[in-house]
Structure 1
C-alpha cells in the first residue's frame, strides 16, 4: 500500500477532543455521526484516548475482489488553541490486491 491508496480528510471542529472522542467511541453517537451501513463491521485495532483511534472497517461491496473489502480508518484528534479539535481521518486499504500475472517467482515450501 502506498500513501496514494489512502483517502485523507482534515478539518477543524468546534468541539474539544474529548467530545469528538465520545462521538467516535460510543456506539449510539457513532451511528448518528457516521451513519454506517448495516453490512459494515467495525472493530477497534488501536486506541489512544482523546488522541487517535483506528477501526478495521469491513463491508460487503460490489467491486470487491472477494466480496469483502477490508480497510483501516484512523481518526487523529489534536487540540487547537481555541478549545476545538483538528480532525484528521485516514481511510486506507489493509492490503493491495496482487496481480495474478505478477512476474515474481513463487516460493515453494520444502
Structure 2
C-alpha cells in the first residue's frame, strides 16, 4: 500500500521505447547496472504489467517481517510517447501495513471504558 503524502515521485521523458526501458527494469543484470541497489537491498517483484508497470518490494537486508521501517514499495510506470520514447514515472514510498479491523490497541480499550 502506498500513502501519497509520503511518496517520492520522479518523472521524466526517456529516448528509448517502453520495451527497452522494461528490459532495463526487469532483467536483474540490467537493473543492477541501471538502478544500482546496494548490497544491503533486497528486491522482490510485487506486480508486473509487461512494458507498462513494475512494482518491487524494496527491503534493506536484515529487516524482519514486511512493513517494518526500511520496507518500501518502488513502482515504475512506462507510457509510450508520440516520438517513440517513454514517459517514465518512478514512485518510491514507505510500505504501509493495514491495521486489522479487530485490532485492540490501547486507544480502543480507553474508548470502551
TM-score by length of 2: 0.78
Bigger helix fraction: 2
Unmatched tracts of structure 1, length 5 or more: 97-101
Q: CA deviation at 1:52?
A: 0.3
Runs of 5+ unmatched residues, structure 2 = 98-104
**Alpha-carbon contact 1:60-1:67 (below 8 Å) kept:** no
Identify the residue that residue 70 of structure 1 maps to in structure 2.
Answer: 71
Confirm whether residue 105 of structure 1 aligns to residue 101 of structure 2.
no
For residue 87 of structure 1, what is the aligned residue in structure 2? 88
In 1, the alpha carbon distance for the partners of 2:20 and 2:46 equals 21
Instruction: Name the structure with the higher strand share.
Output: 1
- Preserved CA contact (<8 Å) 2:3 2:93: no
- CA–CA distance in 1 between the matches of 2:69 and 2:61? 5
Residue in 1 aligned with 2:31?
Answer: 30
**1:53, distance to aligned residue in structure 2 (A):** 0.3
Counting matched residue pairs gives 98
Report deviation, 1:8: 0.4
1:77 & 1:103 partners in 2: Cα distance? 44
CA offset at residue 104 of structure 1? 2.5
Preserved CA contact (<8 Å) 1:57 1:70: yes
The residue aligned with 1:13 is 14
Paired with 2:36 and 2:23, the residues of 1 have a C-alpha distance of 15
Give the TM-score of the pair, scaled to structure 1.
0.80
